[in-house]
Structure 1
Amino acid sequence: MTIEIKPGTNKINFKSQGINIVGVLYTPENFNSTKTYEGIVMTPPFPQVKDQVLANYGPKLAERGYVALAFDYSSKGESDSYDPKFRDDENMTRKWEDLRNAISYLGSLAFVEGINGIGFCGGGNIMSSTIITDLRVKAFASVSAMMASDMMQFADRNVFIQQVQAANAARQKMFETGEPVLHDYFGYTDPDFLKKNPNLSGTFAEGYDYYGTARGGTETYPNFTNVLISTVFETAAVNLGEHYADKLIQPYCGIVGAEADTAICTKAYFDKVTSAKEYHEIEGASHVGLYDVPENIEKVVEIIDTFFQKHSK
């Protein structure tokens, strides 16, 4: 069934490996399907759904004349799952395939001429790993991106081994029982989280303020959950983009909050990129501050618009 695309917010569907993916296409106020527009595909922070950060940026990008696509990965949000019992599976390699099919969806629209990519936080990993070999995306921007995962995943070898062994054990149990094994990786669903973690600082404190409260959590976004399938660490450490940054063909724009202690992850990736590149800091902003603070969003969108227009040909 063909869906008529109108100005504003459009609910859309496409298939990825036979699974129905639900997305939202944001179009300009004066949208006309007989004209052509620059397209943008967006990837959200881990482990978000399309209704959170992407819903803040989509309308703003549409105001700038873009057609912007946000979508829920398979097993997430409104999208279907390979198995109804195994929802909220944060499998990075499956996300690569979903992103490729999202790009295909945009490419199938007659009114989209040129596709750009924006990756937020962990979505930067997904985008950077995918577009190494997907040149349909012609320019790439990241926002608060956790691009250099090695410094996090492999910083402590013993911790890494414990995390992966726990993920492997969960996979074995799920295979043998046919039942999901779930885990809250950040502990935000614990009602005593703050009491148990009185000395939170930096990104950890910000994370709870967003995901553990109504600001960005399930109370406000019922399609979102902090509780995930327990195999995350099997694929979270496999970030191809970081190791192929010097092979990136597309122009790259890295945007971080000047106060974000995670900015080092974007900078490490940026330093390896050999294609045309830009690095921007938003003064006074933190990592999560680029998610939903209106004045920061306006600054980020201005940078991204200028960057994409510079590389529109």
Structure 2
Amino acid sequence: MTALELTPAWDKVFPHSDKVEHSKITFHNRYGIELAADLYMPKHAPKNGRFKALAVAGPFGAVKEQASGLYAQTLAERGFLTIAFDPSFIGESGGSPRAVASPDINTEDFSAAVDYLSTRHDVDPDGIGIVGICGWGGLALNAAANDPRIKATVASTMYNMSRVTANGYFDAEDSPTQRNAKRAQLAKQRTEDYAKDDYARAGGVPAPEALPEDAPQFLKDYAAYYKTPRGYHARSVNSNDGWNATSALPFMNMPLLSYIDEIENPVLLIHGEKAHSLYFSKAAYDKLEHGVNPANKELMIIPGASHTDLYDNFKYIPFDAIEAFFDRNL
């Protein structure tokens, strides 16, 4: 594994809290990819010397200096040892080619974070939870279905990346004909990428001024986060030139959330009332409700909140409820 180059300076889109200690750490997944993370540690250790711990990732196309770091730092202020990590192939984490997303490898990234936390002397291995934001909310549920070491899961403003990739927004492209057209286009792109020995990018979030007036509000909301000082980061996939275009192929072919009805441990889904993506959490909750242990599953809908409000808006992110959820279940 190649040694990662980690930025020593504070370069988050949110201010540093003096209530926690911050450091950089690395860990590897079972594919041998080295991942980079920010570790946030409360200044006061618990009486037994072992913290309850959380691994945080997302949104899809973001880096740990954005929303996941904000969640991790805030939850560390509330007493949890937390890490916000860059998934494989993006940010400061390793993996080549760059800007690749994978339903398998990115699910594995969550379990690799649990590997790391489970082996720290100052963490209770039976007290580890995860938080996934946006697309990593769906990946968090996927990881929880596969890894019983994850004792509690929060998915905030969740996307099901398989569903939106295969079916389009609001399932408007849910037909074999439309999927086959996408497959043909992406297969052609694979040939071109191989011939050039390079990978075309899908394009990041457009700048606000590049959007037409009739653009959907959620696209305007993304632009207002990723392309302005509020959320822009130089290493963010969405803030710049986007994912490797052919990353869409495995999400179309290998659906996420197939076994979430078998999650035995607690799950809290959080979504904004006005979010265009609310249907993803509603569908996931319906499956959890009809699963093996529906009693410990909850869907919290935040009045008035949009999708991106749950990235960084303290007016809407229910940190009290998240803290209470993990206190109960870790």
TM-score of the superposed pair, with normalisation by structure 1: 0.86
Q: How does 1:40-51 map to 2 (within 5 A)?
A: 40-51=54-65
TM-superposition CA deviations, 1:132-157 (whole Å, max 9, x none): 12111011111000138536632312
Q: Distance in 2 between matches of 1:44 and 1:236?
A: 17
Q: 1:208 to 1:160 in 2, by over 3 A?
A: farther
Q: Distance in 1 between matches of 2:328 and 2:34?
A: 35
Q: Distance in 2 between matches of 1:202 and 1:170?
A: 30
Q: 1:193: which partner in 2?
A: 210
Residue 295 (str. 1) matches residue 315 (str. 2): yes
Identity of aligned residues (%): 27
Aligned with 1:285 (options 305, 316, 321):
305
Q: 1:170: which partner in 2?
A: 189
Aligned Cα RMSD in Å? 2.4
Q: How does 1:1-313 map to 2 (within 5 A)?
A: 7-16=20-29, 17-31=31-45, 35-82=49-96, 86-113=97-124, 114-147=127-160, 149-150=162-163, 153-154=166-167, 155=171, 156=173, 157=175, 158-184=177-203, 186=205, 188=206, 193-194=210-211, 197-217=212-232, 221-226=233-238, 227=241, 228-237=243-252, 240-273=255-288, 274=291, 275=293, 276-297=296-317, 300-312=318-330
Q: 1:25 to 1:66 in 2, by over 3 A?
A: same
1:94 shift after superposition: 1.8
1:235 shift after superposition: 2.4
Specify the code of the residue in structure 1 equivalent to 2:105: R
Specify the code of the residue in structure 2 equivalent to 1:37: F
Q: Distance in 2 between matches of 1:22 and 1:29?
A: 22
SS of equivalent residue, structure 2 residue 202: strand
Unaligned runs of 5+ in 2: 4-18
1:32 shift after superposition: 7.0
SS of equivalent residue, structure 1 residue 182: coil
Contact preservation (8 Å) 1:72, 1:79: yes
Q: 1:205 to 1:295 in 2, by over 3 A?
A: same
TM-superposition CA deviations, 1:179-234 (whole Å, max 9, x none): 22222055x16x8622xx221233222122222333222xxx11113322111211
1:130 shift after superposition: 1.9
Unaligned runs of 5+ in 1: none
SS of equivalent residue, structure 2 residue 26: strand
Q: Which runs of 4+ in 1 moved over 4 A?
A: 238-241
Q: Distance in 1 between matches of 2:74 and 2:209?
A: 37
Q: Distance in 2 between matches of 1:100 and 1:87?
A: 21
Report how many residues are paired. 296
Contact preservation (8 Å) 1:148, 1:269: no
Specify the code of the residue in structure 2 equivalent to 1:210: Y
Contact preservation (8 Å) 2:38, 2:84: yes
Specify the code of the residue in structure 1 equivalent to 2:271: V
Contact preservation (8 Å) 1:132, 1:241: no
Specify the code of the residue in structure 1 equivalent to 2:115: S
Q: Distance in 2 between matches of 1:35 and 1:258?
A: 40
Q: 1:162 to 1:216 in 2, by over 3 A?
A: farther
Q: Distance in 2 between matches of 1:302 and 1:165?
A: 47
1:19 shift after superposition: 2.5
1:244 shift after superposition: 1.6
